[in-house]
């Protein structure tokens, strides 16, 4: 009877075991040089590395903290909400100081400009001064297509990023269950998507750069795992990144740890 009960307990525990996740992507646009990116997820932490770089990048979903370092360098850089806020404030102050000189010169010239030229001039100033409201990124639109396709044996839904009726990118989004991904690992990946979008867009806007092609997946209701991204210039493909392998094998927790001799500093 004891052996029978033990077997039932072990089987029951197996049903609740949480698998880890590994996703490997390759850039298929250049067959002679297929750069790869590997995402590894475990216990609310995400690690990603690129074959073209020696850097290791770690994201902690609970702490909302991103750390990047080159093994052996003795240096690491850390981003969190506080660090990001400070850096954005610094960049905004620097940008506005430069812009004040431009604005003063433009005001002098506006008086001798035609109404049309004044409109264009004021539009340019507004775009530089308030990029979050008037920047090029505000022209981006996401279209969810009715069609879907398969990446290997993974069914995914197609979305297109459009700007002025021109297709810039095409995304294919798969359900986490089709990749046998646990809900915990998927939520970690979603958290990383959101953190990455927030960090990059805030930094770029603070520098006055708004001509970026980034998507807020939550806002656009693109709920799932990005398994393919194709970038276009006109009708030509400039980059093609696709999921080429995945597994749920157990990962060593030590690969998510910052080396003990390293201390993370603000960038």
- What pLDDT, on the 0 to 100 scale, is given for residue 18? 63
Q: Where are the domains of the chain?
A: 2-73+139-197+209-258
Residue predicted with more confidence, 99 or 240 = 240
**Contact call for residues 174 and 227 (beta carbons, < 8 A):** yes
> How confident is the model over 212-242, as pLDDT tens digits?
899 999 999 999 999 999 999 988 999 999 9
Q: Which fold has domain 2-73+139-197+209-258?
A: outer membrane lipoprotein receptor (LolB), chain A (2.50.20)
What confidence tier does 135 reach under pLDDT thresholds 50, 70, 90? confident
**Contact call for residues 237 and 231 (beta carbons, < 8 A):** yes
pLDDT beyond 60 at 14: no
Concatenated DSSP letters of 57-104: EEEETTTTEEEEE-TTSS-EEEE-HHHHHHHHHHHHHHHHHHHHHHHH
Nearest-CA neighbor of 225 among 185, 167, 256, 253?
Answer: 185
Max CA pair span of the chain: 97
- What pLDDT, on the 0 to 100 scale, is given for residue 32? 66
Cα distances from 210 to residues 129, 131, 255, in angstroms, run 11, 6, 35
Average the pLDDT over 19-39 and give the result. 87
- ∠ CA 205-206-208, nearest 5°, is 60
Cβ count within 10 A of residue 213: 12
């Amino acid at each position: 009877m004891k052996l029978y009960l033990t077997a039932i307990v072990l089987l029951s525990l197996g049903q609740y075991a949480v698998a880890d996740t590994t996703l490997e992507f390759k850039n298929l646009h250049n067959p002679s040089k297929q750069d790869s990116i590997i995402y590894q997820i475990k216990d609310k932490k995400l690690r990603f590395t690129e074959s073209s770089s020696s850097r290791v990048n770690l994201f902690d979903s609970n702490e909302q903290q991103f750390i990047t370092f080159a093994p052996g360098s003795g240096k690491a850089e850390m981003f969190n909400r506080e660090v990001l806020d400070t850096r954005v404030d610094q960049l905004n102050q620097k940008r506005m100081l430069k812009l004040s000189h431009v604005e003063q010169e433009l005001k002098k010239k506006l008086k001798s400009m035609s109404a049309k030229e004044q409109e264009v001039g004021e539009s340019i100033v507004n775009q530089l001064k308030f990029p979050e409201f008037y920047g090029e990124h505000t022209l981006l639109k996401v279209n969810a297509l009715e069609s879907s396709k398969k990446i290997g044996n993974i069914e995914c839904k197609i979305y297109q990023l459009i700007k002025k009726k021109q297709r810039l990118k095409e995304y294919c989004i798969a359900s986490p269950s089709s990749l046998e991904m646990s809900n915990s690992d998927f939520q970690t990946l979603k958290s990383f998507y959101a953190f990455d979008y927030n960090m990059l867009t805030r930094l770029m806007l603070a520098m006055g750069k708004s001509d970026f092609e980034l998507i807020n997946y939550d806002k656009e209701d693109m709920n799932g795992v990005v398994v393919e991204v194709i970038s276009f210039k006109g009708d030509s493909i400039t980059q093609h990144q696709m999921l080429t392998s995945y597994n749920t094998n157990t990962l060593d927790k030590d690969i998510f740890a910052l080396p003990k001799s390293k201390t993370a500093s603000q960038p």
